[in-house]
Amino acid sequence: MSVKRKKRNGSMTKQHVILIGLMGTGKTTVGQELHKRIAYPWVDTDQALESKWGFSIARYFAQYGEEAFRKEETTILKAILDGPPSIITTGGGIVLRQENCEWMRQKGWVIHLTAHPEVLIQRLSHDQSRPLLLGNVADKIWQLIKERKGKYDFADITIDTSKQTIDGVIQEIIREWQKFKR
């Protein structure tokens, strides 16, 4: 089994299921499918921002830069966390602001999805929609791994998606979530 778990008790204040991790780990796909299984609404922070702006994150990055994007990302995360219980999928860089990590940890059960670098490179090699991957995808992935080392460690559990099906990942999440809620 590829689950790493931290000892934390469930709490009534932790009403959300939050998926974090590098791009390409499967957060959005897993979140969509998990929503169907546990009947929580699903909210994706990146999609919420694109809906708010009426254009893509890539365009926002190009016009306003990463720092402005991170501020917007923090604002939307806080609004979602203040809402009803949900499955929340996040952009990979949401962990770059400590306040985001603290809010997610307080308000939700945080699941870190991970994958081997080679798997991420394969999954993302043809994706032109991600502003942080412009240029050599392999180099960018390795750079992100280095820059974000330790940033996801606050998660309640970590699941490696490298060799698992989406269904397998969801089954692990549901099994662990049931333990967490006890």
The pLDDT tens digits of the residues spanning 122-176 come to 887 765 555 555 667 788 889 889 999 999 999 999 999 999 999 999 999 999 9
Q: Does 92 appear as a known binding residue?
A: yes
For the chain, list the domains and their CATH numbers. 3-176 (3.40.50.300)
State the chain's mean pLDDT as an integer: 88
Using only C-alpha atoms, the chain has a radius of gyration, in whole angstroms, of: 16
Q: How much of the chain exceeds pLDDT 90, in percent?
A: 69
Q: What's the pLDDT at 31? A: 97
Check whether 45 is labelled as a binding-site residue: no
CA atoms within 13 A on the CB side of 68: 10
135 labelled ligand-binding: no
Q: List C-alpha distances in Å: 133 to 20, 33, 53, 54, 121.
A: 18, 26, 22, 22, 10
Rounded to whole angstroms, the Cα distance separating 119 from 135 reads 18
Phi-psi region of 84 (alpha: psi -120 to 50; beta: other; left: phi over 0): beta
Q: How many residues does the chain have?
A: 182
Cα–Cα distances in Å, from 143 out to 100, 146, 148, 157?
A: 22, 5, 9, 24
The reply to whether 182 sits in an annotated binding site is no
Q: Is 8 within any annotated ligand binding site?
A: no
pTM equals: 0.88
Q: What is the mean pLDDT of residues 34-62?
A: 93
5 annotated binding-site participant: no
Residue 46 annotated as binding site: yes
Does residue 71 carry a pLDDT above 90? yes
59 annotated to a ligand binding site: no
